[in-house]
Structure 1
Amino acid sequence: MDTEQTFVIVGAGLAGAKAAEALRTEGFPGRIVLLGQEPERPYERPPLSKDYLQGKSERGTIYVHPKSWYADHGVDLRTSTTVTAIDPSTHRVTLAVGDPVTYDKLLLATGASPRQLSVPGADRHRVYHLRRIEDCEQLKFAFTTASRVVIVGAGWIGLEVAAAARAAGLEVIVLERGELPLLHVLGREAAELFARLHRNHGVDLRLGARVAKITGDDPRQATGVQLEDGSRIEADLVVVGVGAVPNTALAEAAGLVVDNGVVVDEHLRSSDPDIYAAGDVANAFHLMLGEHNRIEHWFNALSQPAVAARSMLGVDAAYDEVPYFYSDQYELGMEYSGHVAPGGCDEVVFRGDKDALECIVFWLKDQRVLAGMNVNVWDQTDTIKALVRSGQPVDTAALADTGTPLADVLAAAGTRTAQ
């Protein structure tokens, strides 16, 4: 490997930092330039809506590496640095301030940004989104001065913020356009668990609610929400959690193929052979699923960079990890392994006591496990992932029976296949 080669990573979040780490682990001797728009060194985002938001963990715990790690490993980390253009023809990255950087290989790890609420008043003061550490700090402070919060959107971020707000003693109203929270992700049976959980903790969960505008007596300050049915809800602050959009502007301007993210193959290589993408911005072909997917979860940002790094080094590597994410809300902790497209399953199997929130939920198609979510049931993730990866029909009665170990269900599926 040429020690004079320069690999540039655009985006200094978890994916960018892990890619730099993987390049050094794989023995890359050249120059690594890690460019981040935020003033902070790379950090992990899940704590921003979980423990750190609730004050249960210290700021120092969120960072990917110690401060000295980048210099110690020869990584040229540049924070507060905005990339304005990428020119594949000259292999050059243009910066808002400073000289351009020339690359041999480039990784896009630009992540995603919160989706904005397209209603009047959405830009008022005290309307919050949660993506960056500065957002979290502002929201933590706002919790200390408010008594009532309206949360628009009952996705993972919205529900985790609701749990944090209730822990802070706030009155919480959650507005969700759909019939249930997380309906498009979990389906009706499992979504009902989360609706009941939040209502049991005093959340005013309003379903089928459509926001018409953010209201306020002061032209700049939000003091509530008006719904399309004309009703008004007063609040001290509004939190918007209606999804995220991939940060693809640089890729589009560079002429890369973009479709709900930067389109990459199983090696995480884009339409340009010297440009790769990983994390929230990557719409990657998944060998196990047999399709492209862009998955906005911590595990992808953690795991994809190692594959991208090896591919950049010319090693034949492919990303085929079983999709995974987790959430913590009140006393509920869950892990989800697998992937189910909306309407993609024909059976849902519960194993355990769903009323006590100690169960595993399985989504199946033709008796094959597509995904499993363990709720307050631990040390089962590896077996759930193996069931998903096997792609073999299972005995659904045994799957539901807590007296039958999951490992036995998996082994039986393999035995039937071999016969």
Structure 2
Amino acid sequence: MKNIVIIGNGISGVTAARHIRKRSDHSITIISAESDHFYSRTALMYIYMGHMRYEHTKPYEDRFWEKNRITLLRDYVEKVDTDQKRLLLRTGKVQPYDVLILAVGSTYNRFGWPGQDLQGVQGLINLQDLELMEQNTKGIRKAVIVGGGLIGIEMAEMLQTRNVHVTMLIREGNYWANVLPAPEARMVNRHIREHGVDLRLATELQAIKGGPDQKVTGIVTTAGEEIECRFVGLTIGVRPNISFLEGSKIKTDTGILVNKHFETNIPEVYAIGDCAQFEEAPAGRRKIEQVWYTGRMHGETLALTICGNKTAYSPGPWFNSAKFFNLEYQVYGQVQPREADDGEHLYWEHESGQKAVRIIYRKADGVVTGINLMGIRYRHEVCDRWLQSNATIQQVLSELKAANFDPEFYRKHEGEIMSEYKGTLQPQQGEKRKKLFGLF
């Protein structure tokens, strides 16, 4: 029986622990100072908005640890000693291990702005951040969010439920311009503004101002504009939370370097979740995957290896989903913000400007490689099958009705999408083709 120690109480670490317990009698200890329970981080915003309470975010009963014979140690790891196979903890305790799993997640970025340590300036990743946001936003009327992304839009929605006026600063010319093609990004721009957010595109933060009490009073942009506020949300991306590994023998880059089995350069030391960086990314995937469902897959896959069935990570085609206020978004496969030379883009946008479908396929053989959906839901199993089976654009269009997952009585648009595709086959309709592919 091995002594397995997991650092991190998030979806990756807890999933690994659960599946190791299902397959073995190994001793399992999870080290985390965050909370006494496993909870859903994706539900934090709903606690703030009053839609849920903390206890509603716990998928398992409070006796989860005891029932599964998992020890939860409420502490912080200060140092990893791989020579002696032990962890030095903040409380002064020493925790030995036979197998170490690093599932330490992410931390939000700071870029050295003047005033970034003032009271009222923070990001939002964990339960402690949520509790701090409760304190920092009590009774305020104006806030600035620096950066876009999914956390930024969630924070804006949270603040608006408390009648806080939100200004959002985006460095790029469109919201999430490094992920979304321009037409979809412009759709989100409109949607954000329609919900009362003062969206400032191509605008960067220069400094954060504070008063004598060390509380934030406003910000200054690089253009010299001053914006009054009492809260600054930092949502300029996240990075792996690995600073405590400095001086250890575990190899790191942006994240902890692992192979396809989540093995680090040190025997019996593994990394999973947001903190793991693949030396060679799986096909169609990124080297760092900071998404809830991939963390769960990491944990399940590693548990097989730990329990004697060495298994490589094979996640299949990329997918993700999100919500910008009430505009839903799904992506399947590879959709780049700019068109590749070997691909064609079928782009249909509803006249309301609140729905869109983008299907990307190779010029050479018509095989579909990516799908973007705005305001329309498609079934995951259908889209995954298309991508896994190298379905062509003609096959995908013929099966759109089978994919549509919108609720009953929602208007369907498959006929309109097919008509647009047929229009691209007419060479004389050059201007329509440009419009269809989202070129202007």
Tell me which interval the TM-score lies in, with the shorter structure as reference length.
Answer: 0.7 to 0.9
User: Which residue is equivalent to 1:83?
Assistant: 77
For the residues of structure 2 that align with 1:225 and 1:401, how far apart are their CA atoms? 52
Ranges in structure 2 where 5+ consecutive residues have no aligned partner: 405-413, 415-440
Question: Among residues 302, 306, 320, which one is paired with 1:308 in the alignment?
Answer: 302
SS in 2 for 1:106: strand
- The yes-or-no answer on 1:42 pairing with 2:41 is no
Give the 5 Å matches for 1:16-415.
Answer: 16-25=13-22, 27-49=23-45, 51-79=46-74, 81-140=75-134, 142-218=136-212, 220-284=214-278, 285-289=280-284, 293-321=287-315, 322-340=317-335, 343=338, 345=340, 346-350=343-347, 353=350, 355=352, 357-364=354-361, 366=363, 367-390=366-389, 392=390, 394-395=392-393, 399=396, 405-406=402-403
User: Which residue is equivalent to 1:10?
Assistant: 7
For the residues of structure 2 that align with 1:91 and 1:344, how far apart are their CA atoms? 49
SS in 1 for 2:207: strand
For the residues of structure 2 that align with 1:198 and 1:401, how far apart are their CA atoms? 34
Ranges in structure 1 where 5+ consecutive residues have no aligned partner: 409-419
8 Å Cα contact 1:179/1:207 also seen in 2: yes
Say how many residue pairs are matched: 399
For the residues of structure 1 that align with 2:198 and 2:76, how far apart are their CA atoms? 41
Moved more, 141-150 or 255-264: 141-150
Distance 1:318 1:161, change over 3 A: same
For the residues of structure 1 that align with 2:351 and 2:321, how far apart are their CA atoms? 18
Tell me the C-alpha RMSD between the 2 structures. Answer: 2.6
User: Which residue is equivalent to 1:413?
Assistant: none
For the residues of structure 1 that align with 2:400 and 2:5, how far apart are their CA atoms? 52
Distance 1:23 1:402, change over 3 A: closer
Which amino acid letter does the alignment assign opposite residue 84 of structure 1?
A: E
Following superposition, the deviation at residue 130 of structure 1 comes to: 0.6
Moved more, 114-123 or 327-336: 327-336
Q: CA-to-partner distance for each residue in 1:256-298, whole Å, 9 max, x for gaps?
A: 2212211111211112231111110011344333x75101111
8 Å Cα contact 2:181/2:336 also seen in 1: no
Distance 1:180 1:256, change over 3 A: same
Distance 1:193 1:320, change over 3 A: farther
SS in 1 for 2:253: coil
8 Å Cα contact 2:215/2:230 also seen in 1: no
Distance 1:365 1:104, change over 3 A: farther
**Structure having the higher Rg:** 2
For the residues of structure 1 that align with 2:254 and 2:334, how far apart are their CA atoms? 17
Following superposition, the deviation at residue 231 of structure 1 comes to: 0.9
User: Which residue is equivalent to 2:417?
Assistant: none
8 Å Cα contact 2:120/2:137 also seen in 1: no
For the residues of structure 2 that align with 1:166 and 1:377, how far apart are their CA atoms? 25
Which amino acid letter does the alignment assign opposite residue 385 of structure 2?
A: A
Moved more, 173-182 or 253-262: 253-262
For the residues of structure 1 that align with 2:269 and 2:306, how far apart are their CA atoms? 8
Q: CA-to-partner distance for each residue in 1:29-80, whole Å, 9 max, x for gaps?
A: 020010013244332211224x22322112112235322111111101112x
Following superposition, the deviation at residue 338 of structure 1 comes to: 3.2
Q: CA-to-partner distance for each residue in 1:111-141, whole Å, 9 max, x for gaps?
A: 1101014211111111121111122233245
**Percent identity over the alignment?**
23
For the residues of structure 2 that align with 1:234 and 1:302, how far apart are their CA atoms? 41
SS in 1 for 2:129: helix
Which amino acid letter does the alignment assign opposite residue 347 of structure 2?
A: F
User: Which residue is equivalent to 1:415?
Assistant: none
Q: CA-to-partner distance for each residue in 1:221-272, whole Å, 9 max, x for gaps?
A: 1111101111111112111100111012344532222122111112111122
